[in-house]
Amino acid sequence: NAGVTQTPKFRILKIGQSMTLQCAQDMNHNYMYWYRQDPGMGLKLIYYSVGAGITDKGEVPNGYNVSRSTTEDFPLRLELAAPSQTSVYFCASNDWGSGNTIYFGEGSWLTVV
């Protein structure tokens, strides 16, 4: 089983460039999440989705956009990349909001120079 798949694994961006981090899950989960993790720190929620066509902001949404056109895919868009967006990005999914195991992708390492 693939689980949660993120691409790319590593990326270097120049300031002002844009890019999309892809995330796909094959478990038919309705909830999907994007987190960022700065070195040695916990995860901060960027955006989440409770189903296709529904997205909502998390703790740190500024500078990012998401869409959820299908149950499987939840891409994260970075517009006008800034050095403060250098981080590790994790996509995750689960079956419903409370109490169920959340499955994480392997992470995407992004550096903005």
Partner 1 sequence: TQLLEQSPQFLSIQEGENLTVYCNSSSVFSSLQWYRQEPGEGPVLLVTVVTGGEVKKLKRLTFQFGDARKDSSLHITAAQPGDTGLYLCAGYETGANNLFFGTGTRLTVIP
Residue for token pair 């994480």: 104
Question: What is the rounded radius of gyration, in angstroms, for the C-alpha atoms of the chain?
Answer: 13
Residues found near partner 1 in the complex (CB under 8 A): 31, 33, 35, 40-45, 48, 50, 56, 58-59, 90, 92, 97-102, 104-107
Please say which residue, 82 or 104, places its beta carbon nearer to partner 1: 104
SS3 54: strand
Least distance in Å: CB of 5 to partner 1?
12
- Which residue, among 79, 72, 105, 103, has the nearest Cα to 91 in the 3D structure? 105
Nearer of residues 34 and 112 to partner 1, judged by Cβ: 34
Nearer to partner 1, 14 or 98 (CB): 98
Residue with token string 């691409």: 7
